[in-house]
Amino acid sequence: QVQLVESGGGLVQAGDSLRLSCAASGRTFTNYIMGWFRQAPGKEREFVSSIRWSSGTTAYADSVKGRFTISRDNTKNALYLQMNSLKPEDTAVYYCAAKMSLIHNYDYWGQGTQVTVSS
């Protein structure tokens, strides 16, 4: 059974940094694409970033490009999102997700971790 468990959220001030973690278990994720999504109050969930586990190829939403960095640790089966220069508009619940390939939808989701950025 696949489990994704996020951690690292919190309340910070604008300009601060946070690192989110996602502990992945239940299968080998070598061929998976892992992603981070977020959902702000009253808004739809949106894509933040993704990484192909095997190659390390990354993608970012324009709104976070240059500020956020996604990475993974193969030895720990962990996914990370380093968030720098945080803005109030980054406030959201952040979710870790996994899918088997580019043509698949994200099948597995974590429970989310709250990030709140005060101005």
What pLDDT does 105 receive? 92
On whether the CB atoms of residues 107 and 100 are closer than 8 A, the answer is yes
* pLDDT, the chain, mean: 96
pLDDT, mean of residues 104-118: 96
pLDDT in tens, 60-91: 999 999 999 999 998 999 999 999 999 999 99
The b-or-e profile of 85-109 (16+ CB within 10 A means b, else e) is ebeeebbbbbbbbbbeeeeeebebb
Q: Would you give the end-to-end CA distance of the chain in angstroms?
A: 40
